Amino acid sequence: MECDTKTRKNSSLCNGQRLIISTALSSTADKTSFAYISARDRWPIIITGAIDDVHRAVSETTDEDKREEGKRIVEELAKLKYELQHDRKLSPLPEDGQPDIAGYNKELEQLGTPSWFDVPWLYAECYLYRRVATSFSLSSQWKSYDVFGRQKMSTFRSSRPAVLELANRYHELISQMGKKSDKSEEEVNTAEKILFMEMCEICLWGNATDLSLLTSLTYEDIQKLQGSEARKASEKNIIVNDLEKAYDVLKKAKKDGKKDRQVDIVLDNAGFELYVDLILAGFLLSAGLATNIILHPKSIPWFVSDVVPADFAALLNALASPQAFYSTPSDDEKNAGTTPEPLSQKEIDELSFLFQNWSGFHAEGQLMLRSNRFWTEGGSFWRLPTAAPRLHEDLKESELVIFKGDLNYRKLTGDGMWDPTTPFTKAIGPLGPGSGVNVLALRTCKADVVVGLKEGEDEKLRAMEEGGGDSGARKWAWSGKWAVVSFSPGK
């Protein structure tokens, strides 16, 4: 079915089949959207960062071939930046041997070869990172180079206090769970539910909300946690909260005595966010709320901080020799002539416990990574059943598929400019009820699209300081300060 230009902008194409997303797509031409700012202000900065990183890597190598290729990559990135800043048409991606290139170029044609400042935001942003990746994949010396790798590791290193705090609490928590509990069934269930919520909130915000009270599973402490100020504060900014529904799905599967209970986590960012994803995964396995966890990383460097398999290995390596990792001065520390405080023996032991615990699950096959190129294609997850039927079947095996972060949420909802009161189950289209997939989105808002809100909620948030007011811009949703935790029952 041929679509007119307007419909084309609202349609999500796959294998010739059009899935009509019944709302306009977020566009870089929309002056009120974060797309407009991203294309004009943020993307040039990101490309400049990549250029600087390659320059630095070139200066650090003596291999002549690698230097020459690095200079060519810098030129290609500079060309991309020039085209972007001068609102040029997006050019077809060069073949690099991967099957997704054809899909990107077919969509580019379907969109009428648009220019950077008037193109669906989701496609253009995915295209940007896929095009950067071709500069490396088409090289010989830089094929596996991660142009964002340097900053991913340095942000993890700089999260040292929160890493140590969580390691301490996790160690105590898992050790407590191992002990015979003298509590009633009801007390243990209540504690487990509260801990699930706390762990998900830590995973959502990528920080330790209120771990001070996690030192023991005593009923009183857990109740204190439920009512604690920090918890109330962090929950205040979760404007849609379906965590209980997600917990009930896992609890029911456990109660029904299902032998294999898989949970999938479609990952977002590396570093501390991957660390808290593993804390959640380890908790789910230790609490028996899941029997195996599948982690879905990206296959190429993506949206600056997203997880590629090498980031998982680097995190486990850091935990395997924590003293070496945390005592090596970072580049900034080297420049400042300072050396980091060495870890105490207790801190080393607690990080080593994490390493043993997680690598143990990994060795047993209870925690595994499963890459799929679908996650770095240019379209929304509305296409998943038709574009990646095998992946769809795999996700149906799961009790719960957790999608982390803002980009995954945009892809779930087609990055559509929905009425914010649109039900989440409607906005995720083919992955909604009847899809066979139980979806949980853990999303800190960093883009315009938001659904599932109560009447008046969006207006209330817009009216707040920096909320966007009556400018038409939903600025409150750009800051990462607000979050939605949305569940769709697919089974």
- Scanning 132-140, 168-176, 330-338, 400-408 for contacts with ligand F6P by CB under 6 A, the matching segment is 400-408
Output the smallest distance, CB 302 to Mg ion, in A.
7
Considering the complex, state which of residue 306 and residue 458 has its C-beta at the smaller distance from Mg ion.
Answer: 306
Query: Taking CB within 5 to 8 Å according to partner kind, which of ligand F6P, Mg ion, none is near residue 135?
Result: none
Query: Taking CB within 5 to 8 Å according to partner kind, which of ligand F6P, Mg ion, none is near residue 107?
Result: none
> Which residues ranging from 18 to 57 are in contact with ligand F6P (CB under 6 A)?
38
Query: Taking CB within 5 to 8 Å according to partner kind, which of ligand F6P, Mg ion, none is near residue 447?
Result: ligand F6P
Considering the complex, state which of residue 303 and residue 409 has its C-beta at the smaller distance from Mg ion.
Answer: 303
> Which residues ranging from 279 to 338 are in contact with ligand F6P (CB under 6 A)?
303, 305
Considering the complex, state which of residue 131 and residue 446 has its C-beta at the smaller distance from Mg ion.
Answer: 446
Binding-site member from 30, 76, 125, 277 for ligand F6P (CB under 6 A): 125
Q: Is 446 in the site for ligand F6P (CB under 6 A)?
A: yes
Which chain residues interact with Mg ion by CB under 5 A? 268-269, 303, 306
Contacts of 447 (CB under 8 A, 6+ apart): 26, 34, 35, 121, 406, 409, 410, 415, 477, 478
> Which residues ranging from 197 to 226 are in contact with ligand F6P (CB under 6 A)?
none
Q: How many residues bind ligand F6P (CB under 6 A)?
A: 12
Output the smallest distance, CB 330 to Mg ion, in A.
22
Query: Taking CB within 5 to 8 Å according to partner kind, which of ligand F6P, Mg ion, none is near residue 38?
Result: ligand F6P
Binding-site member from 131, 169, 231, 410 for ligand F6P (CB under 6 A): 410
Q: Is 269 in the site for ligand F6P (CB under 6 A)?
A: yes
Output the smallest distance, CB 35 to ligand F6P, in A.
8
Q: Is 380 in the site for ligand F6P (CB under 6 A)?
A: no
Considering the complex, state which of residue 283 and residue 303 has its C-beta at the smaller distance from ligand F6P.
Answer: 303
Q: Is 447 in the site for ligand F6P (CB under 6 A)?
A: yes
Query: Taking CB within 5 to 8 Å according to partner kind, which of ligand F6P, Mg ion, none is near residue 125?
Result: ligand F6P
Considering the complex, state which of residue 35 and residue 191 has its C-beta at the smaller distance from ligand F6P.
Answer: 35
Q: Kindly list the residues in this chain that would bind ligand F6P in the complex (CB under 6 A).
A: 38, 125, 268-269, 303, 305, 405-407, 410, 446-447
